[in-house]
Structure 1
Amino acid sequence: MRDEINAALKQAMKDKNSNRLSTLRLISAAIKDRDIAARSDGNDARVSDEEVLAILVKMVKQRQESARVYEEGNRLDLSERELSEIVIIEEFLPRQLSAEKTEAVIAQAIADTGAESIRDMGKVMGILKSKYTGQIDFGAAGALVKAALTKN
């Protein structure tokens, strides 16, 4: 995944695409920051692709929130910039699962964990996060899991 980002960064430099280049540099910086934090914790290895996915998902969420705030403040120029950064970041994320597939995955996770009540929600969400980071909106998934567990 890092190789993809670095290749895209180099291509943006060659193309002299400043907007894309700045966004890719932000991604690269966020990954390097996480690497440094991991090293300070005593881990010499670079962060995994799963952690890179988590970084990218977090970056998308931050930009969505910023875009919403800018729109409310009638700063459409800044909102458009945030939205364009989201498009670039999402190029490196796996495709989002459809609503039907998300429900099927949640049902499978509930079955795999043997979850029976809302107290087991953490187990279900843990499985979903380990297998589907970047593919599911966990805010929406949490509500679906909660609804499914309260039916039981």
Structure 2
Amino acid sequence: MPTTTHDEKATARDAEVAALHPDVARHHVRATFPARIVLRAVEKQETGEKKLPVVGDSYLTVVVAGGSILFYADEDPVWLAASIPTAQVVGVGSATEPVIEAQPFVPLLRLSISEPGTEPLDLDLELFEFDGVALHRQTDIADAQAQWRALLAA
């Protein structure tokens, strides 16, 4: 679960991404360990020394703009951690991840991505709603799947 620090960072990151992409919906996610590996592998943007950490938390703000899914990390300033063309998303589904909390499994959104001639890679993301102050785990993955399908089809 997000801590107060995660909420504060999400607030700052949300404002920065909103300034970069006005009038575009922002989505808040936590990249699972396998998702961080996938994002590092498919990274299309030159980010210099910055890479998503393999270990630790990876809360990101995501927008779909200009035919790509853009993943922003950190804050003050944010940086583009990865960019995936929406045309490479070949499936939208769900998955679960075990956690050490009262709820034993967390529902995840699964985006399957593939470049031509390759096997799909699954990008599992924990979804959060952001009310401007705090992150709240989104557990209705069925609604999220429908929203993401519509978002990617636009």
- Larger strand proportion of the pair: 2
Choose between structure 1 and 2 for higher RCO, CA contacts under 8 A separated by at least 6 residues. Answer: 2
**TM-score, normalised relative to structure 2:** 0.23
The structure carrying a bigger helix percent of its residues is 1
